[in-house]
């Protein structure tokens, strides 16, 4: 077996997700190469070379791969995929954007959001918003897979892979980057945070989300939200935890004013410890919470912040 | 510009699913079905493009069993002009659907194709991207804003950590995210009118596409249930439990 992992980048640096995808590749077994594609990505390539289990890092450093647009990235992967049995990427918005293009051009199916490896051709993945887990077997010669990072513990550093330049340059006259607005935050990224505190419709409005700030600061937590809070316009969609948003699995998840709709639970139920704060003692969130506190969040949150 | 919009018949998003006792699949007998929510957003966007005068015709297409014509009628009631039903009872996976849609794109030559970013049954999030690759067209996935400007379309995309805007040459493939728009409800007179709008029925064989996939579904299980814990009486007790019992603080 020979596996190519597409590295995830965040502002040009190697994103934490990649170490999880490499772990999934190790579970499949075989040689693992990592492709780092972008513009000015040498540092990311060096970071990828340190990941445990990686044999070779292939670096495609060219302006055409800047921002990892789908069209050139798909074309690059098609050029590089020959000789590999598996191509993996994280189920990030980049992996989801790019990998299906490779699969279609190679005339193979893609397995999305794989959360467990049974064997080199058999995998588990969630369907129906995580309300069922499907075991699927692929007989395609090339397996194209996006990996749900919460399903695999990140590999550590300690590797010393070789770094090799890829000089394949593809044309792209179809798409161009216009702008990017990333939420500015000193807080950890939602997907990788050890503690997450999320607010739901019970927060009442966007202004009240500030009540979570102080607690998040004290716990080093990322702040999330339920889809109900996003749909109500309280906070932007990139804060959404759930099947249609981010899937998280922190050490501690605190759900505030969140009733616990199925679609939200699908995004956080693998958290190690779940705390629910809600005024409705019948709220479904309490059925999954390790510790539930029934009461008015506007009284509980300031008290919690002062006592932490 | 002609806009092609693809829709899928799926389980209604309010229905709690059941896994079959033999673990062969999810049980869909006598379950309420509906248009995939992301496809509703796609139809709405196409109709709005027509209302703005950008689109001249909206064509809805689906791949699925006979009953999927209900979802095409819904699309017609919401404002699509005509519909194409590619009828199959086989389980058509993303790649096969993308191949079928590529044939329709070839025949219809739309200026834009709009699809939902994913269907809420298989949660694949692949079809739009595969269609773009097969038709050699650019893609704007997970769109939260779509603006046609001359021979280009600007698509603002929901990406991890924020928003990204790309400019694509037309024709282009767009897949919808939640915040793109809020779909309207079909009015009764429009539902009546939709019954008279044209619907073309084809089969995968007519289009020369093989639906079978090399991926087999071996087993479907319910996820591990998480047991509820305890209720605490106060903030002090909560902090104590988190520190001394769960040891996460």
* Strand ranges inside chain B, DSSP E: 2-7, 9-11, 33-35, 57-64, 82-87, 112-116, 139-149, 152-159, 162-169, 172-176, 199-202, 215-221, 230-232
Among B193, B7, B1, residue whose Cα is nearest residue B85: B7
pLDDT of residue A237: 83
The pLDDT value given to residue B153: 98
Predicted local distance difference test score (pLDDT) of residue A186:
80
Give the tens place of pLDDT for each residue, B111-146.
999 999 999 999 999 999 999 999 999 999 999 999
Q: Residue B139: its pLDDT value, please?
A: 98
Tokens 């249609």 belong to residue: A244
Cβ contacts of A251 on chain B, cutoff 8 Å: 248
Cis peptide before B171 (omega within 30 of 0): yes
* Rounded distance between C-alpha atoms, residue B116 and residue B123, angstroms: 11
Nearest chain B Cα to A188, which residue?
A: B161
Six-digit token string for B243: 């520190």
* Cβ–Cβ below 8 Å for A182 and B162: yes
Q: What is the pLDDT of residues A149-185, one digit of tens each?
A: 989 999 999 999 999 999 999 999 999 999 999 877 7
B235 with A109: Cβ contact below 8 A: no
Q: Which long-range contacts (CB under 8 A, 24 or more apart) does B89-93 make?
A: B89/B65, B90/B204, B90/B211, B90/B212, B91/B213, B91/B217, B92/B63, B92/B64, B92/B204, B92/B211, B93/A109, B93/B122, B93/B124, B93/B213, B93/B215
Q: Which of A70, A103, A279 to mutate to test the interface with B (most CBs of B within 10 A)?
A: A70
**CB-facing half-sphere around the CA of B72: CA atoms within 13 A:** 26
Other C-beta atoms closer than 10 Å to the C-beta of A53 total: 19
Contacts of B130 in chain A (CB under 8 A): 100-101, 103-104, 110
Q: Which of A16, A75, A291 to mutate to test the interface with B (most CBs of B within 10 A)?
A: A291
pLDDT of residue A11: 85
Query: What DSSP designation does A245 have?
Result: S
The residue in chain B having the minimum alpha-carbon distance to the alpha carbon of residue A127 is B122
Is A307 within 8 Å of B220 when comparing Cβ atoms?
Answer: no
The torsion of the CA quartet A91, B98, B53, B44, rounded to 10 degrees, works out to -60
Q: What is the pLDDT of residue A266?
A: 87
Where are any strands of DSSP class E within B8-111? 9-11, 33-35, 57-64, 82-87
Among all residues of chain B, which has the CA nearest to that of A250?
B248
Q: CB of A90 within 8 A of CB of A147? A: yes
Are B120 and A113 an interchain contact pair (Cβ–Cβ within 8 Å)?
Answer: no
**Residue owning tokens 């019992």:** B245
CB within 8 Å: B130 and A103: yes
Task: Copy the structure tokens of residue A107.
Answer: 């005339």
Cross-chain Cβ contact B219/A134 below 8 Å: yes
Distances in whole angstroms, Cα of residue B31 to Cα of each of A1, B18, B27, B34, B119: 42, 10, 8, 10, 17
Ordered structural domains, chain A, with CATH: 2-165 (3.40.50.620), 190-307 (3.40.50.1220)
Q: Which two tokens stand for residue A263?
A: 């679609």
Burial A129-140 (b: 16+ CB within 10 A, else e): bbbbbbbbbbeb
User: CA-to-CA distance for A225 and A246, rounded, in angstroms?
Assistant: 10
Contact A190, A239 (CB under 8 A): yes
* Among candidate residues A237, A242, A236, A238, the one with its CA nearest the CA of residue A255: A242
Sheet of strand A252-256: strand arrangement: A222-225, A195-199, A252-256, A273-278, A291-294, B230-232
pLDDT for the residue A184: 73
Residues of B with CB below 8 A from A102's CB? 133
| Cα A264 to Cα A122: distance, rounded to the nearest angstrom | 28
- Per-residue pLDDT of A217-273, as tens digits, reads 999 999 999 999 998 999 988 899 998 788 899 999 999 999 999 889 989 998 999
Whether A32 and A23 have beta carbons less than 8 Å apart is answered as: no
Kindly determine whether residue B235 and residue A179, on different chains, have CB atoms separated by under 8 Å: no
In order of their start, the domains of chain B are 1-243 (3.40.50.620)
Closest approach of A267 to chain B, Cα-based (Å): 13
CA A6, CA B89: separation in Å to the nearest integer?
36
Half-sphere exposure of A208 (CA within 13 A, CB side): 19
Report the percent of chain A where pLDDT is more than 70: 100
Task: Write out chain B's pLDDT in tens, 249 residues.
Answer: 999 999 999 999 888 899 999 999 999 999 999 999 999 999 999 999 999 999 999 999 999 999 999 999 999 999 999 999 999 999 999 999 999 999 999 999 999 999 999 999 999 999 999 999 999 999 999 999 999 999 999 999 999 888 999 999 999 999 999 889 999 999 999 999 999 999 999 999 999 999 999 999 999 999 888 888 999 999 999 999 999 999 998
- Write the residue in A110, A189, A303 that is nearest to B161 by C-beta: A189
């Amino acid at each position: 077996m020979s596996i190519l992992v597409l590295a995830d980048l965040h502002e040009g640096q190697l994103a934490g997700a990649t170490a999880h995808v490499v772990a999934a590749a190790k579970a499949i077994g075989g040689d693992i190469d990592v492709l780092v594609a972008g513009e000015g990505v040498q540092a990311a390539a060096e970071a990828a070379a340190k990941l445990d289990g990686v044999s070779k890092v292939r670096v495609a450093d060219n302006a055409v791969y800047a921002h990892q647009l789908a069209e050139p990235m798909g074309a690059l992967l098609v050029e590089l995929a020959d000789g590999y049995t598996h191509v993996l990427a994280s189920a990030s918005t980049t992996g989801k954007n790019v990998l299906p293009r490779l699969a279609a051009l190679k005339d193979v199916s893609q397995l999305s959001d794989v959360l467990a490896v049974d064997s080199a051709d058999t995998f588990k993945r969630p369907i129906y918003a995580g309300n069922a887990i499907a075991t699927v077997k692929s007989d395609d010669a090339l397996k194209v897979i996006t990996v749900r990072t919460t399903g695999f513990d990140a590999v550590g550093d300690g590797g010393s892979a070789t770094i090799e330049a890829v000089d394949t340059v593809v044309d792209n006259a179809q798409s161009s980057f216009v702008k990017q607005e990333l939420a500015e935050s000193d807080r950890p990224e939602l997907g990788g945070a050890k503690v997450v505190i999320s607010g739901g419709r019970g927060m009442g409005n966007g202004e009240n989300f500030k009540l979570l700030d102080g607690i998040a600061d004290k716990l080093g937590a990322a702040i999330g939200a339920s889809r109900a809070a996003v749909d109500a316009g309280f906070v932007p969609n990139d804060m959404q935890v759930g099947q249609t948003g981010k899937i998280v699995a922190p050490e501690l998840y605190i759900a505030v004013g969140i009733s616990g709709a199925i679609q939200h639970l699908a995004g956080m139920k693998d958290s190690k410890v779940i705390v629910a704060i809600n005024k409705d003692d019948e709220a479904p969130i309490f059925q999954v919470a390790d510790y539930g506190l029934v009461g008015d969040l506007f009284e509980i949150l300031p008290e919690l912040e002062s006592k932490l | 510009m002609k806009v092609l919009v693809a829709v899928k018949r799926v389980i209604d998003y309010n229905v709690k699913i059941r896994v079959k006792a033999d673990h062969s699949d999810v049980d869909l007998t006598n379950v309420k079905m509906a248009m995939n929510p992301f496809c509703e957003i796609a139809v709405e966007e196409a109709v709005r493009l027509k209302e703005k005068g950008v689109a001249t015709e909206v064509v809805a297409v689906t791949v699925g069993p006979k009953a999927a014509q209900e979802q095409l009628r819904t699309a017609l009631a919401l404002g699509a002009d005509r519909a194409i039903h590619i009828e199959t009872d086989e389980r058509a996976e993303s790649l096969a659907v993308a191949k079928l849609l590529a044939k329709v794109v070839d025949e219809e030559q739309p200026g834009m194709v709009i699809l939902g970013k994913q269907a809420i049954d298989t949660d694949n999030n692949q079809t739009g991207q595969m269609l773009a690759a097969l038709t050699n067209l650019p893609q704007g996935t997970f769109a939260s804003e779509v603006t046609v400007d001359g021979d280009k379309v600007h698509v603002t995309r929901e990406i991890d950590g924020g928003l990204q805007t790309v400019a694509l040459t037309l024709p282009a493939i767009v897949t919808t995210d939640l915040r793109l728009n809020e779909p309207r409800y079909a009015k009764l007179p429009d539902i009546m009118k939709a019954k008279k709008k044209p619907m073309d029925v084809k089969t995968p064989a007519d289009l020369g596409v093989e639906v079978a996939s090399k991926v087999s579904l071996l087993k479907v299980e319910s996820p591990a249930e998480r047991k509820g814990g305890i209720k605490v009486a106060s903030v002090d007790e909560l902090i104590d439990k988190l520190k001394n019992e769960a040891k996460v603080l």
